[in-house]
Chains A and B, each alone.
Chain A
Amino acid sequence: MGILQMSLSGAVLIAATVPVRSLAVYRLPKRTFVFLWGAVLLRLLLPFSLPPPLGVLAVGGKAAEVFPLISAAQTYTSPVRADTASPRSPPALAQASFAKAAWLGGTVVCALFFLAAHLRFRREYKAALPLENAYVAAWLRGQKLRRSVRVGYSDRINAPMTYGTLKPVILFPKTADRRDEACLRYILTHEMTHIRRFDTLLKCLLAAAVCVHWFNPLVWVMYVLANRDIELACDEAVVRAFGETAKPAYALALIGLEEKKSGFSPLCNNFAKNAIEERICAIMKTKKPSFMGILSATVLVVTLTAGALTAFAADGGDTTNGNSADKTPGVGDFMFPSDVKFADDMGIKVTVEETQNGALPRSEEFTEPGFDAGSAVFMPTRLVAVNRRDGGKFTEAEWNNILAGIAAGEIRMED
């Protein structure tokens, strides 16, 4: 699947999740939304799609048509489909490579921005001092966790926070009152929930999605909402742990912390950063989830995850493949990204790569015949992804056949 396709399917999922969230944010267990965002993340970040498992896709008839379940069992007859479609004109090619360069540039800029901010804050956090507090030490001993958690304090932060995935560290601001044991316990429980749920890692993935899909405004919306939902889910865990009577006290502690807000640090878990009002409301409205609530949450998550991984992917295969209906059914054919073209008058260095679900790709690189590398200022490179529709691996003979076909200009790209 191409980036554009992943982005589009991701956008559809986000557009479906946002209204559910705004309608049910105070009603469903908060973790529901974290899981929903997780499903969206899978679609946004995994470039391949799983073959539809039995039954799941029976609802999406179109997808089932494109992906007949029997295809895997059929024999592989003709490895190469020689398309006679006319090659794209050079301006279209230039446009495609410009779009690609722009996307790559944006991704790099975004990634550098997140990385720079992260590294700057991390340097600050690393210089935090160990917090020696009998209550905190005793509390930590009572926690069952394989990873060892350190607790520190810093005069450079204004709100409690957690960083690190494998070696997590909880940091208190220097100004936090260490004698207020109730408040300490709320904060520790909240931060420990982040640690247990690997929220730092999740935030990294969210940032990665934003970097790759920077051109997609809905992905930014997801970034903001998912970060909020991560906090809401941890608040909810605190209320669960201490009972509903603790709600006002916890909400007040939160407001107290919010008075001294911290700066921007995208990859760490901040105790009090996002949309404080929503958090306070969510805390005060937290109730024991009803059976119906849990049921609808589960159905939501399962449906969306299954949809994210299969149905959209199948639709994607359909569009990339164009008019595949008229071909011999079940025969493995190749999916080419539509911005790739061969054998026009311009010489091209081609990298052919076999992509398979989960397996390491094998690739071959060669220059097209007639291309004089010596006279070229730079050599345009094309990456061609080929895969069998049935998810299997090409045999040696088929693979060589493909390479030979490309080298001879017999395989062309459809526009």
Chain B
Amino acid sequence: MKLFDAELKVMEVLWEEGDTAAKRIAEILREKTGWSKTTTYTVIKRLCDKGAAERREPNWVCRPLVTAEEAREHETNELINRMWGGAADQLVASILGRRDLSKEEIERLKQIVSELE
């Protein structure tokens, strides 16, 4: 499921806070992004239509139906398919080739790769 930036913003709140009343989400996002209540509700509604979240009475409590991992996996797959023609190893190679990775990060990546072998 493709989540747009605005939708991800709402999902982030849900992933962090768990089940949250729509009103509370609006408050949090007003702080973070300056959205109006209507805007937040519109995005929540879109998430519900997509099946990424659900709202329940009373108080329109929202619950994520998609986990952060699932969302990330989708984005990663899309990236691999779009930029590396589906070749995940090349993505990893490209990340490892980056200069701004710290030594610790590289060590952890190598560890993950060896675990998967």
Contacts and interface: CB of A to CB of B under 8 A. Distances in A.
Interface of A: 123, 126-130, 150, 154-156, 174
Given A127-B42, A127-B43, A155 B33 contact: no
A154 B5 contact: yes
Contact of B36 (A126, A128, A156): A126
A386 to B, nearest CB: 45
A64 B35 CA distance: 57
7 contacts: A123-B39, A126-B35, A126-B38, A127-B6, A127-B42, A128-B6, A154-B5
A98 to B, nearest CB: 41
Given A156-B4, A174-B5, A130 B34 contact: yes
Contacts of B38: 126
A123 B43 CA distance: 9
A128 B4 CA distance: 10
A123 B38 CA distance: 9
B9 interface: yes
B56 to A, nearest CB: 23
Interface of B: 4-6, 9, 33-36, 38-39, 42-43
B28 to A, nearest CB: 14
A123 B42 contact: yes
Contacts of B33: 129-130
A129 B35 CA distance: 8
Contacts of B35: 126-127
Contacts of A126: 35-36, 38-39, 42
A156 B38 CA distance: 18
Contacts of B34: 130, 150
Contacts of A156: 4, 6
A129 B9 contact: yes
Nearest to A125: B39
A126 B36 CA distance: 8
Given A128-B6, A130-B34, 12 more contacts: A126-B39, A126-B42, A127-B35, A127-B43, A129-B5, A129-B6, A150-B34, A154-B6, A155-B4, A155-B5, A156-B6, A174-B5
B37 to A, nearest CB: 11
Nearest to B38: A126
A119 to B, nearest CB: 11
Nearest to B36: A126
A156 B6 CA distance: 9
A201 to B, nearest CB: 21
A130 B31 CA distance: 11
Nearest to B5: A155
A118 to B, nearest CB: 15
A51 B34 CA distance: 49
Nearest to A123: B42
A130 B35 CA distance: 9
Contacts of A155: 4-5
A123 B42 CA distance: 8
Contacts of B42: 123, 126-127
B20 to A, nearest CB: 18
A128 B29 CA distance: 12
B48 to A, nearest CB: 15
Contacts of A129: 5-6, 9, 33
B91 to A, nearest CB: 19
A256 to B, nearest CB: 19
10 pairs of A and B residues whose beta carbons are closest in the complex: A127-B6, A126-B39, A155-B5, A127-B39, A127-B43, A129-B33, A155-B4, A123-B42, A130-B33, A129-B5
